[in-house]
Structure 1
Amino acid sequence: MLAFALKRAALHRGGISMKIFSLLSVFGGGVFLATCLLDLLPDAVEGIRSAERIAKVDIKFPITELLVAFGFMFVLIIEQVLFLLSGSFKLVL
């Protein structure tokens, strides 16, 4: 709720307020990405390895990391399509 109010205020002011809001948004995204990669991913890898041990299967391919990469790319593609459809398209690669 507060984020929407801050964004609306930044849009009305423009300039430096919008840049500050953008930087805070990018910082928040970085915090979530770091949390995923540094804390949640090792737990997910251990969970997959545990399931492999229970099933008595030895897979050398990094399945967990592949699924995370596919998920990231899926979200990026959906975001880019929505930006394209909304008319404010800026390709970010």
Structure 2
Amino acid sequence: MIHLPVEIWRRILFHAIEVPDLFMKDLTPVTEISSAIGYWKSERTRSALRRVCSSWNDFLASYDGRYVQISDIIHGTVPAAQLARALRINLMYCNCEVCYWF
């Protein structure tokens, strides 16, 4: 049995959850819908990988809250502290009355 160094496993895990069109700069423009779909697909992959073992869970937990929508913070479903960890923040509000008055 061959054991890979931790650094290689971390790179593999990072690439497994990467969403290039969402988090990379200077790419061709993508629609908000397509980037959100890619993000949620990567979140499902990340969730599955976190269940493999505790060391994978610990590493992938550092990527919690990569994408934060301001409307989720206004509604209280995401804590405002997640803004400091977010790699991308969506400033679009939803059409509800709470966001309208905010």
TM tier, smaller: 0.3 to 0.5
The alignment's TM-score, normalised by the length of structure 2, stands at 0.34
The alignment's TM-score, normalised by the length of structure 1, stands at 0.37
Greater Rg over alpha carbons, structure: 1
**Greater share of residues in strand:** 2
**Greater share of residues in helix:** 1
Kindly indicate whether structure 1 or structure 2 has the higher relative contact order, using CA contacts under 8 Å at least 6 residues apart: 2
